[in-house]
Amino acid sequence: MKTLTIIETGRPPDAIEGNWPDYPAMFEDLLSPFLRDWSYASVALPDGEPLPDPSTLDAILITGSPAGVYDETPWMAPLMDFIRWAADAKVPQVGVCFGHQAIAHALGAKVAKSDKGWGIGRHVYSITSTPTWMAGDTPPEFSLGVSHQDQVLSLPPGATLVAQNDFCEFAALTYPAANAMSFQGHPEYSPGFSCALYNVRRGTKLSHDMVDAAEESFVDPVENDLVGKWIARFLSEAVRQS
């Protein structure tokens, strides 16, 4: 049995935390239908839990976070080293939202707040390349809920662009030599959770009109299960190659 170690880098805001699962549980719910013979472990960086030696792990997933890669949190620099060590050892890695940005930053990309501002609601991405883990399930585009202001602003060395849109040029990436892949959007977020998150920020970081438009965007479905299947296929392929 393989174990996916989830690096928890953030939590739902206090105002809604008790109403929703934590992020590791969200990812387990997303992936367990496709990785039935896997187990799950988590490392809570906000609680000061130490990062393990990546060479002892089967596979890694890095969650979203309110932090930015440029923040001086106590665990940020160790996390960047951890990502690079895992890449050198070809330990399979997946990143989502902050995790997407963290892998890109650790492996040489520019990551910063975008001058396009906040991205929220349902975003549709065009697929630009088709790695093997997409084989057989490659529509021309897919959609996910998003919540981010930071973006990957350059293609990391050795990475391949997988998906993009006008708002986010580097929305999904794969790193063949490093055995890694990542998405800016949130396949683990249900539309209900996304809307709850936006409403916490209504009238502060996000305007009322922005939140209203984001909520309305979920009239059309998101493709969480499809992206979950892609992540599961990547992990299954990558552990065989590592």
Q: According to the model, what pLDDT value does residue 120 have?
A: 98
Question: Average pLDDT, stretch 87-102?
Answer: 98
* 3 state SS of 152: strand
How does residue 240 score in pLDDT terms, banded at 50, 70 and 90? confident
Spatial distance between the Cα atoms of 89 and 107, rounded to a whole number of angstroms: 14
Residue 135 has pLDDT above 90, yes or no: no
As a whole-number percent, the residues of the chain with pLDDT over 90 amount to 96
Q: According to the model, what pLDDT value does residue 129 have?
A: 95
Spatial distance between the Cα atoms of 72 and 158, rounded to a whole number of angstroms: 27
Q: According to the model, what pLDDT value does residue 62 have?
A: 99
With a CB cutoff of 8 Å and minimum separation 6, the contacts of 26 are 20, 188, 189, 193
How does residue 138 score in pLDDT terms, banded at 50, 70 and 90? confident
Does an H or E element contain 241, and which? helix 224-241
Q: According to the model, what pLDDT value does residue 5 have?
A: 98
Q: According to the model, what pLDDT value does residue 83 have?
A: 98
Residue 136 has pLDDT above 90, yes or no: no
Question: Average pLDDT, stretch 208-216?
Answer: 98
Q: According to the model, what pLDDT value does residue 230 have?
A: 97
Question: Average pLDDT, stretch 192-204?
Answer: 97
* Domain architecture of the chain: domains with CATH: 2-241 (3.40.50.880)
Taking all residues of the chain, what is their mean pLDDT, rounded to a whole number?
97
CB atoms within 10 A of CB 157: 11
Residue 96 has pLDDT above 80, yes or no: yes
With a CB cutoff of 8 Å and minimum separation 6, the contacts of 90 are 178, 179, 241, 242
How does residue 242 score in pLDDT terms, banded at 50, 70 and 90? low
- Interval 156-172: pLDDT, tens: 999 999 999 999 999 99
Question: Average pLDDT, stretch 160-188?
Answer: 98
- Interval 20-69: pLDDT, tens: 999 999 999 999 999 999 999 999 999 999 999 999 999 999 999 999 99
CB atoms within 10 A of CB 1: 6
Q: Is 63 left (phi over 0), alpha (psi -120 to 50) or beta?
A: beta
Spatial distance between the Cα atoms of 126 and 149, rounded to a whole number of angstroms: 20
